[in-house]
Structure 1
Amino acid sequence: AAVDASLGETRAFDPASSDRRFALHMSDIGQGEFLPVLMAHLRVHAPGVRIEVRQLPLDEVQPALDQRRIDLALGHLPDIHGTLHEQLIVDRYVLLVRRDHPFVHALGSAEARQALQYVVAQSHPEPEKALRRLGLADHIRLMLPHYSAVADVVANTDLAAIIPRRPALRHARHFPLVTAEIQVDLPQLGIWAHWSWRAESDAGHRWLRETLAELYRAGGSEPD
């Protein structure tokens, strides 16, 4: 079971004294986004609450929610259906390149768009689709399963990653990288919390959902 307390779900939940364990599905980007904010909050307000992170294949996420093997799925999950959900973040795609990239001062130009060699991730198919529509499929030099290695790759090459803005800004704080607006028509990214209707009567689950929603409504997690 995803939670240690499976009985008496309707009873009051006291985060300050609870030692409950919650299981959360999230991607590599989601871990960098949510865990620093959430764990800092728990340290002060719910010091005994434990978090277990799982990274499930996408086709297993909804069954795991329904079976209560995980409590929440957090992230950009457009193929997940039949869940209760709440949007936590709206993001957009940007370019991420090394600070001394040859096109660093002209990344917004049509010339740069045609000349760049790109990194995209299978976990976010929208950039690949957009590049193919523009006839730039041959400019996709590296396809990653996800974004966990992207900062190291981009910092050591002339490749340009198309990546959500929030993780791009975090990478730019720790690597010699810069971001730029991308001259490609891409949709905004909704980052959501998904859960099963079976968790609706669970007071602890409701507390966790409301905590995440409040943390992101407060805007304290917005990258600089």
Structure 2
Amino acid sequence: MMNETEFDLNLLPVVLAIAEERSVSRAAERLGWSQPKVSIALAKLRAALDDPLFIRGSHGMSPTPRALALLVPTRDILARVKNEVLIRAAFNPVTTTRRFTFALSDIGEMTFLPKLLAYLQAHAPNATVRSVTLPPDEIAVGLENGDIDLAVGYFPDLKGRNFFQQRLFTHSFISLLNAKHPIKGRRISMEEFLRIGHAVISAEGRSQEVFEQLLAKHRIERRIVLSTPHFMSIPFIIASTELLVTVPYAVGESFAKVANIRLIEPPLEIPQFDLKQHWHRKYAKDEANMWIRSVLVKLFSA
């Protein structure tokens, strides 16, 4: 007796077509096959199942009891292949209860989450969001195993053929001062920049590296008064001291709205850097992942 690994499942549509059409030629037309191909398939079926399956009679090809017994499971198998294998499950944001997980730095949260959460509340009200901050190697593992849907921001370590990326917008840096600081103008001079006390943020996010690397390249040494891993205290510190801090532009704009501080251009040209969304190639065609990527493009692409 032939076992399931030897049986050619591609032959099953032939059983159904001949049974319903009662004709090899009409079955061939229905399947889009040639008549000889259907005849060969029928011969294989007869040999595999040790039964003639169809007998030619006055009303065409008449199924044997063995063929009749095959019809219900064959219809079920073909329907399941069509509905569960060939048809991709549709993602419906209105009804989804999915939790989307993003790898974000704290400045990434400030930049992306307010708009994103507002959009999800309007268009995917039952969806939830989880934000994680992890070392680059753990982010890569999380993207691969599906624990993280997207890494959004500045992640230069996410390279290689297994990671896809899409630019959202380009970022730069801005310096911040107390609104009543004696240094005036739109740009601070290098002399003032070197003389003034600085607050420096050494957070998990990689974007701050761009500015620090530029200073190192030009051998510029600031007078660092405060070093902190936290962004959230910075606007209140700057508003109540005469320190200067340099941060990504979108962060500086946000801080200026909540504290008595103003923006001032740094004394040197700072390279811009791209903020991107990154995902693993395993999930490139995942419906939910595709949808949330399209949302980020809609909200932030420039």
Q: Compute the TM-score of the two structures, normalised by the length of structure 2.
A: 0.65
Contact between 2:199 and 2:225, CA under 8 Å: does it hold in 1? Answer: yes
What is the DSSP-based 3-state SS (H/G/I as helix, E as strand, rest coil) of the residue aligned with 2:139? helix
Give the share of equivalent positions with the same residue, in percent.
Answer: 28
Q: Establish whether residue 136 from structure 1 lines up as the match of residue 214 from structure 2.
A: no
Contact between 2:150 and 2:277, CA under 8 Å: does it hold in 1? Answer: yes
What one-letter code is carried by the residue in structure 1 that aligns with 2:299?
A: L
Which residue pairs with 2:184 in the alignment? 104
The correspondence of residues 197-216 of structure 1 with structure 2, limited to 5 A, is 197-216=281-300
1:147–1:80: structure 2 CA closer, same or farther, 3 Å change rule? farther
CA radius of gyration, larger in = 2
Which residue pairs with 2:255 in the alignment? 171
What is the DSSP-based 3-state SS (H/G/I as helix, E as strand, rest coil) of the residue aligned with 1:185? coil
What is the DSSP-based 3-state SS (H/G/I as helix, E as strand, rest coil) of the residue aligned with 2:276? strand
Q: Establish whether residue 16 from structure 1 lines up as the match of residue 94 from structure 2.
A: yes
Which residue pairs with 2:118 in the alignment? 40
Query: How far 1:107 moved relative to its partner?
Result: 4.0
Which residue pairs with 2:108 in the alignment? 30
Show structure 1 runs of 4+ deviating over 6 A: none
Q: Which range is displaced more, 105-114 or 70-79?
A: 105-114
Cα distance in 2, alignment partners of residues 147 and 10 from structure 1: 43
Query: How far 1:114 moved relative to its partner?
Result: 2.5
Q: Which range is displaced more, 117-126 or 47-56?
A: 117-126
Which residue pairs with 1:120 in the alignment? 200
Cα distance in 1, alignment partners of residues 284 and 222 from structure 2: 48
Which residue pairs with 2:276 in the alignment? 192
Query: How far 1:108 moved relative to its partner?
Result: 2.8
1:10–1:142: structure 2 CA closer, same or farther, 3 Å change rule? farther
Contact between 2:193 and 2:222, CA under 8 Å: does it hold in 1? Answer: no
1:59–1:148: structure 2 CA closer, same or farther, 3 Å change rule? farther
- Structure number having the greater helix percentage: 2
Q: Which range is displaced more, 92-101 or 129-138?
A: 129-138
Cα distance per residue 1:79-116 (max 9 Å; x no partner): 22232111112111111111011213374323322322
For structure 2, the 5+ residue unaligned runs are: 1-83
Contact between 2:238 and 2:244, CA under 8 Å: does it hold in 1? Answer: yes
Cα distance in 2, alignment partners of residues 131 and 49 from structure 1: 42
The correspondence of residues 143-162 of structure 1 with structure 2, limited to 5 A, is 143-162=227-246
Contact between 2:215 and 2:221, CA under 8 Å: does it hold in 1? Answer: yes
What one-letter code is carried by the residue in structure 2 that aligns with 1:137?
A: E
Contact between 1:130 and 1:184, CA under 8 Å: does it hold in 2? Answer: no
What is the DSSP-based 3-state SS (H/G/I as helix, E as strand, rest coil) of the residue aligned with 1:108? coil
Q: Compute the TM-score of the two structures, normalised by the length of structure 1.
A: 0.86
Q: Which range is displaced more, 118-127 or 54-63?
A: 118-127
What one-letter code is carried by the residue in structure 2 that aligns with 1:89?
A: F
What is the DSSP-based 3-state SS (H/G/I as helix, E as strand, rest coil) of the residue aligned with 2:247? strand
Which residue pairs with 1:76 in the alignment? 154
Q: Over aligned residue pairs, what C-alpha RMSD do you find?
A: 2.1
Contact between 1:116 and 1:160, CA under 8 Å: does it hold in 2? Answer: yes
Greater RCO (CA < 8 Å, at least 6 residues apart) = 1
For structure 1, the 5+ residue unaligned runs are: 1-6, 220-224
What is the DSSP-based 3-state SS (H/G/I as helix, E as strand, rest coil) of the residue aligned with 1:53? strand
Query: How far 1:146 moved relative to its partner?
Result: 4.6
Which residue pairs with 1:54 in the alignment? 132
Which residue pairs with 1:3 in the alignment? none
